[in-house]
Structure 1
Amino acid sequence: METNSYSLSGNIVDLRAETIFKGRVHVEDGIIVKVEEDNTVTEDHYILPGLVDAHIHIESSMLIPSEFARLASVHGTVATVSDPHEIANVLGIEGINYMIANGKKVPFKFYFGASSCVPATPFETAGFELGVEQLDELLAKDEIKYMSEMMNFPGVINRDEFVMRKLEVAKKYGKPIDGHA
């Protein structure tokens, strides 16, 4: 079986050691197999780990996930922690499922969450509500990695029954709960 091997040369950014050194990164079948220092390297570009956007609402970019990935990856972003809150407000679970399915079409990592506050306030009339049952359905999915953005912090502090039931669903599946600060 033939392997796909190549090397990248340049200034390697070592985030752990907080150093930059001339060297080569050897890749086989898409996996880094060796990083070596080599002061004879003449390439002057920088090689660094891919960036992760730790909080984004992709829909705010007005792009579908696959197109967002195409544009973000050329700037070094290789993954996002994504709260599909806006599409959930308009299309509910169907919208979140679309985001997941579309994101699977590209070699980019999307870590989608279950939007905890849809609508964001009781005064909104966007079209959908994600209650305890809907969050249970979402959090049961392997593609949903966490409960996103519990914006109702007064409900958490005052132990509002509805808010606590939502948080219990995330705990039931062992998924992290993202706060809103």
Structure 2
Amino acid sequence: MKKRIALFLLTGACLMNTVPCFASQSVKVSYVGSQGTEYSTLPDSGTLQRDAGFKPKAPAALAGGYQFDSGRITESFDMDADGAQVNRQKGINFQYVKQSGSTAKTVTLSAEPASGQSFSKDSTLVEYGEMNLYYSTDQANSISWMDGDVYYMLMDIKKSVSKDGLTAMAKQMIDMDTTSAQ
């Protein structure tokens, strides 16, 4: 019995020295709460400023015939090593739909303040003037970019919108005049 306890303690001591430690200080979490603001019609820039705390570009339609369908305010934050929420910020998540007979395609537009945002290392760089766009097919077809102090992402979960289609939507948004963004 004493040999088993000694073996158990020795094994435990060895395992404690081989368990990897992770240096990450925080984890980014994004959620949409049940109390969040939802939109059935496209809000104007003043409403977005009030609800989200910034003025993202939010077109009524996207290239390729996609029309605004619905949207909501999101909230994201980092969690520190103790599980406390830090760096809280709001964003938008808007759905655009293209109806073709009985088939509907959906593209999601997300935008939030650019602080702390990064692009996937597996992205393909698409240059548009001075702007860099990052196209990815990791878990969905997506294209993301920073415009001023706002991070934008267009995403197609079903992967039915091509790289060219998403790029055309991104270029349209980049070229939008912010004074007439609505």
Same-fold call, TM > 0.5?
A: no
Q: Which has the larger radius of gyration?
A: 2
Pick the structure with more helix per residue. Answer: 1
Q: Which structure: greater strand fraction?
A: 2
Which one scores higher on RCO, CA 8 angstroms, separation ≥ 6?
Answer: 2
